[in-house]
Structure formats: structure tokens, C-alpha cells
Amino acid sequence: MNSKLSNIIAVDGLAATGKGTIARRLAAHLGYAYLDTGLLYRAVGLSVIVSGGDPFDPAAAIPAAQKLDPAALDALMDDPRLRSDVGGQAASKVGAIQGVRDALFQFQRNFALNPPDSKAGAVLDGRDIGTVIAPDAMVKIYVEATPEIRARRRFLELQSRGENVTESAVLEDLQTRDARDVSRSVVPAKPAEDAIHLDTTNLTIDEAVAAAIRIVEDRQKARS
């Protein structure tokens, strides 16, 4: 087996399931590189909005995705709009356009196969990592939680950042985004057939990370 192909870990799931924290901490634990692919879609969505365009419009979104320099993404990380719900909605809209997904494919695939800093592997989180970006991943984890608990977590996170939101508005926002991500005709968000489901509804984040580490270690043991 090609050793590079075997060191990709796909962590997929809907918004606020905990997949980002799980993927980031999994990567740190394993010494692997980590890529939050949602940030790519968020950066494209925001750049469309900032230039006065409509994120649903392929004529605005596709060139924005083609122009995106993922290597310069670090500079965007400090922009609070990137992680805001406005950024999430814009990302979800541009993510429904095939030309946007095509433009972002190669960077993600490359990252998975050739992790930066000569890391031994890569953890990617998103919606289509196990199905499209890395169908050959060593482990695919699909993270789930009820909409209510996801809204509660996201609400507390936004509140701690000083954003003025209500929990019911956060739930509504999540449900709109879920519906769009799951029902879009282009690469709808769904678990890979061989994904292991990890339900975090009744887990603390530490318990969820520990469960993900166990899943990966079991797979590594089974391979050796």
C-alpha cells in the first residue's frame, strides 16, 4: 500500500458537530498536518460578499474560488467575519456550485497527499473529504450530534466572542445551512459508506476527541 495514501484521515460532518476541534486535536495527537476545508469555502464566500456579489451566483463565485490563494489563508484567519455565521452561510452557498468545488479540489488533494512540513499524514475536515477529496483515506469519521445540542454549543461559542445572538436564531441558522448542504444537487454532504459514525451529542469535547483517537488507533493496529 502507498504509505502516503494510508495516512489521510477524513473527518466529515455538519456544522457545529465538534468535527473541527476533533480533527485539529487528532492531528496534534498524531503529529499530522491539519486542514479545515470549511475555511476555503468561507474565504470564497466572503470575498464574493466583500466585492458586492451574490454567493449563489456562479459568475461571481467561480472566479473568486479560482483566484483564492490557499497558501495566503493564514492572513485571513484573524478576520472575525470568516468564522461568523455570515461567513458560514456564504460558504454554504458557494459550496453548492460545482465550479467552486472543482477550483478548490486540487489544493485539498495535494494537502492530503503531500502534507506540509513533511508531516507523516494529514487530517482534513469538511463535508466531502471521505467521499470526494480522499475516498482512499485510512480512516473516515462522520461526526454527528442533534441540532439542539449543536445550536447550544454554537450559541455559547458566539456569546463568548461577544456576539449578540439568541439560541433560537442560531438553531434556525444551522437548520437552514444543514438543509442546503444536505439537499444540494452538487456533492451533497453525506457520510461515506465506509465512515465510522461518532455521535457527540452526549460527549464532552475531551470524550469526543478520545473516542476519535481510539477509532484511529484501532485502525492502525488492525493494519499493522
Q: Which stretch binds ligand DC (CB under 6 A): 91-99, 150-158, 162-170, 208-216?
A: 91-99
Among 55, 88, 121, 130, binds ligand DC (CB under 6 A): 88
Q: Which stretch binds ligand DC (CB under 6 A): 48-56, 66-74, 87-95, 167-175?
A: 87-95
Question: Could you tell me the three cell numbers for 31?
Answer: 503529529
Looking at the chain, list the stretches that DSSP marks H as alpha helix, in order from N- to C-terminal side: 19-30, 38-50, 58-67, 73-76, 85-94, 98-113, 147-160, 167-183, 205-223
> Which residues within the stretch 198-217 sit at the binding site for ligand DC (CB under 6 A)?
none
> Which residues within the stretch 7-66 sit at the binding site for ligand DC (CB under 6 A)?
15, 37-38, 41-42
Count of other CB atoms within 10 angstroms of residue 64: 22
Rounded-to-integer distance, Cα 138 and Cα 3, Å: 10
Among 53, 128, 131, 140, binds ligand DC (CB under 6 A): 128
Rounded-to-integer distance, Cα 52 and Cα 26, Å: 38
Shortest distance, position 39 Cβ to ligand DC, whole Å: 6
Residue type, 96: A
Contact between 140 and ligand DC by CB under 6 A: the answer reads no
- CB of 27 closer than 8 Å to CB of 8: no
Shortest distance, position 44 Cβ to ligand DC, whole Å: 9
Applying CB under 6 A, the residues found at the interface with ligand DC are: 15, 37-38, 41-42, 88, 91-92, 95, 126-128, 177, 181
